[in-house]
Structure 1
Amino acid sequence: MTVDHATTEDRASLDDVLQAAKAVTSRFGDEYYREVDEKSAFPEEFAKTAEQAGLHSVMIPEEYGGWGLGVTEASVITEEINRSGGAGAAIHAAMFAMGIVVNHGSEELKRKWLPQITSGDVRLTTFALTEPNAGTDTSKLATTATRDGDDWVFNGQKVFISRAAYTDLMVIMARTSPSPDPKKPGLGISCFLIDIRDVDPKRLGMRQIPLMFNHHTYELFIDNLRVPGEALIGEEGKGFKYLFDGLNAERIVIAAECIGDGKWFIDKAVKYANERVLFGRPIGANQAIQHPIAKGYAHLQAADAMRWQAAAAYDTRQPNSPELANIAKYLASEASWDLAQTCMQTHGGFGLAREYDIERKFRDNRVFQVAPVSPNMVLNYLSHKVLGMPKSY
């Protein structure tokens, strides 16, 4: 990681955060993640160590036991996790999902849960948004939360909910009323923070979805799940607004994960290109090998510059923050995926061998071409919202 885009005053803070992250990641290298992947296990030891070090609470204010920092510092942590061979997904939901609670939750809600999260007494590792018929089109959410006395009663279904079986608390989106304005279908959606410990599995069922990468993703079946009224985050019906505040932070920490992956791919490709000798010289002497790596490096540097700009805009609540967050995620995911393919091609047949770890990171990185927002939807957003062209979706 470089901190060239930070001020001199900020640089020490970023370096401190980086060193704190490295103190954890240095204990978990490629071999650890390879073994976890081969067993299809959750990286529990890493996640707990990271939480004990407080990495997950970087964006929680100090008064609640957190670090009181921003998405800039959160991105430093997730980049380092991916740069070390891991996946920031193990803890990143606590960062951006807690941002929703911090920015929009009541003081009562924050004082009840944030200190327990920062201390590690409870875990928040998941964000329940996506549904079978409402993926990218979030306004079509069908899961409902209905008032019954002082409680909310949830019914519906969620899909592709990562780490759901490894969480105590869940931020969940549900429709609490029909939208009063057809032109604003997101109205009437609310956001909740619910405690799912000791929940009857008949009320909240989970089915793990086998995937090409090891992120422990689930389908949720919600049947008359009753939660207390205090679980509501902010105002009823304004969850759609809160959602995008959290998603912009998510785009930035994901961009940083892509950058961490990209640096991992570059290191592996350069090392192998320098060591592998064919026809009497290192393969890295061939422009067909070195140029794709150099090109990928240049594109990654450009994406990294946008990451810092997007993070600074988010932390200072600039109006162009959504635009920059989307661009950062788009450029970083494109650059890292190109490098994933370059690294695989550089290694040839050895890239397919599990002991080299390339195929594992290759599979892990592919998800960023789909989630948390697809490249096509970023381009749609920029075309319509930024450039002023007609809406295409």
Structure 2
Amino acid sequence: MDFRLTEEQRMIADAAKDIARDFPPEYWREKDEKGEFAEEFWKAISRAGFVGIVIPEEYGGAGMGMTELLIAMEELCANGCGAGGVWYLVLTEVFGALPIVRYGNEEQKERYLPEIAKGRMEFCMALTEPNAGTNTLRIETHARKEGDEYVINGTKMFISGVDRAKGMLLVARTIPYSQAPKKTLGITLFLVDLPNKAVKWNPIPKHGINFSKTCEVSISDLRVGEDAILGEKDRGWYQVLDVLNPERMSAAAGAIGISRLAIGKAVEYSRQRRVFEDPIGSYQGLQFPLAESFATIKAAELMMFRAAWLYDNSASYKEIGDAANMAKLVAIENAIKAVYWAMQTFGGYGYTREYDVERWWREVNLLRLAPITQQMALNYVAEHILGMPRSYRG
């Protein structure tokens, strides 16, 4: 096993660090407080080619893989961007570019991928629903065949980026759950161009990551042609898994990057801050938890890159899913501890907006809940890896 980065991978890491220095914590603090999209940052990562990392060269991308995308995400987060370093790339590259690269036909690739690679087409994914939640197989959004078209109706919840997106990966049932010959059959993915008068959205006020709107989406008699189907009709469940695993890897990259950022700021502060005679960084009450947090985060990083390697080398859904879920689980669990102890290091200042730690605390806590809760990740490990009896029914 070779753990060294290739020359290209080092260049991506260095480019991400350079970009992040132009968008320090103060920039993201302002965007979060004003609820503004980070337009300047989006243009910068587009110019750098980051939104085309996984897109083949013939469509204007870099022709690289999930490993390189995670390197970019982690370094952007760790060097000042916090969650902003991963968020926009997940919405457009993981939800848009990746599934089109892997499952799109030639017409779909030519239509969407060059625009994504240039940063001119943002994407979103409409999957989660109010009644289904994590139980994706129970989604109720339905696509009914009518002549050469599909008429789609339903409600989606927690859809980020839909307010700006020009493309949507829409997950719907083409066979109702009660009628499906097998519960994993009857789900189909559609590529939908936005804006569309049949798709309406309403922002949901939320705790953090306010540089991106997260919305409730209502779909009323949306009409799309058969050419909007991505991949195989009725077999979209397996394609959804192929999107969710990279999303979980991305969550791990965000957690690791935020942890590195918070720990770095805490260590810097601890060297300067004196309460009694010595700098507070000399106190083992702070040294030990920060050191432990850093060590466990670096261990989680190895599992994250293992998941990416499996994905890039076309391993089975099971192998990729095992590694992606464990990477997400361990990275987030230890990121919560890392940012907690960073906040403790700053004391009362850690609770103020000026020092940014409270924002990273809000950001990293979202990852406990999305893209999958820690408890559901534990369920996965228990059932699918350890072989224990299933603890819930679909």
Hey, what's the Cα distance between the residues in 2 that align with 1:358 and 1:184? 47
The alpha carbon displacement at 1:177 in A equals 1.0
> In structure 2, how many angstroms separate the alpha carbons of the residues matched to 1:236 and 1:223?
21
Shift of 1:44: 1.9
Asked whether 1:42 is paired with 2:43, we answer no
Residues 145, 152 of structure 1: 8 Å contact kept: yes
Contact 1:78 1:92 in 2 (8 A): no
Correspondence list, 1:74-153, <5 A? 74-86=69-81, 87=84, 88-97=86-95, 98-124=97-123, 126-153=124-151
Once residues 304 and 233 of structure 1 are traced to their aligned partners in structure 2, the CA distance between those partners, rounded to angstroms, is: 32
Partner of 2:268: 271
Superposed CA offset, 1:210-266 (max 9, x none): 000013100001111112221110110111100001111111122111110110011
Matched, 1:349 2:352: no
In structure 2, distance between residues paired with 1:346 and 1:22? 25
Counterpart Cα distance in 2 of 1:224 and 1:180 = 22
Contact map agreement 1:261 1:336 (CA 8 A) in 2: yes
Is the 1:61–1:69 Cα contact (8 Å) retained in structure 2?
A: yes
Whether the aligned pair in 2 keeps the contact of 1:43 and 1:90 (CA below 8 Å) is no
2:307 aligned residue (301, 305, 310): 310
Q: What corresponds to 1:33 in structure 2?
A: 28
Q: Which residues in structure 2 correspond to 1:128-277 (within 5 Å)? A: 128-179=126-177, 184-197=182-195, 199-200=196-197, 203-213=198-208, 214=210, 215-277=212-274
Aligned-partner residue type, residue 121 of structure 2: V
Equivalent position amino acid for 2:172 in 1: A
CA distance in structure 2 between the aligned counterparts of 1:93 and 1:262, rounded to whole angstroms:
21
- Partner of 2:391, secondary structure, is coil
Structure 1 residue 367 corresponds to structure 2 residue 366: yes
**Alpha-carbon deviations, 1:193-213, whole Å to 9, x = none?**
11013x11xx21111000000
Could you tell me whether the CA contact under 8 Å between 1:178 and 1:187 is conserved in 2? no
Question: 1:181 Cα deviation (Å)?
Answer: 7.6
Report if the CA contact (8 A) 2:51-2:119 is conserved. Answer: no
Other-structure match for 2:61: 66
Give secondary structure in 1 for the equivalent of 2:22: coil
CA change 1:24–1:150 in 2 (3 A) is farther
Q: Any unmatched runs of 5+ in structure 2?
A: none
Q: Deviations over 1:134-154 (max 9, x none)?
A: 111000100111122222211
How far is 1:23 from its partner? Answer: 3.5
Long gaps (5+) in structure 1: none
Partner of 2:385: 386
Mapped partners of 1:348, 1:165: distance in 2: 38
The alignment-based identity, stated in percent, is: 39
Report SS of the residue matched to 1:366: helix
Cα offset, 1:91, TM superposition: 2.3
Contact 1:269 1:343 in 2 (8 A): yes
Moved more, 36-45 or 171-180: 171-180
User: How far apart are 1:384 and its partner, in Å?
Assistant: 1.0
Give the 3-state SS of the residue equivalent to 2:153 in structure 1.
strand
Name the structure 1 match of 2:335: 336
Q: Distance in 2 between matches of 1:184 and 1:292?
A: 48
Task: Give secondary structure in 2 for the equivalent of 1:68.
Answer: coil
**Contact conserved, 2:140 with 2:176, CA < 8 A, in 1?**
no
Q: What is the CA deviation profile of residues 350-384 of structure 1, one whole-angstrom value per residue up to 9, with x for unaligned ones?
A: 00111111111111111010001111111111111
The alignment covers a number of residue pairs equal to 384
Does the 8 Å contact 1:248/1:325 carry over to 2? yes
Runs of 4+ aligned structure 1 residues displaced above 4 Å come to 179-183
- What is the TM-score when the length of structure 2 is the normalising length? 0.94
SS class of match (1:165) = coil
Which deviates more from structure 2 when the two are superposed, residues 95-104 or residues 156-165?
Answer: 95-104
Structure 1 residues 82 and 184 mapped into 2: Cα distance closer, same or farther (>3 Å)?
farther
Aligned partner of 1:135: which letter? G
> 1: CA distance between counterparts of 2:39 and 2:321?
33
Alpha-carbon RMSD:
1.6
Q: Are residues 77 and 223 of structure 1, via their aligned partners in 2, closer, same or farther at CA, if it must alter by over 3 Å?
A: same
Instruction: Give, in whole Å, the separation in 1 of the partners of 2:10 and 2:388.
Output: 42
Q: CA deviation at 1:21?
A: 2.1
Question: What is the Cα deviation at residue 115 of structure 1?
Answer: 1.4
2: CA distance between counterparts of 1:118 and 1:65? 6
Looking at structure 1, the residues matched to 60 and 143 of structure 2 have their Cα atoms a distance apart, in angstroms, of 31
Shift of 1:178: 2.7
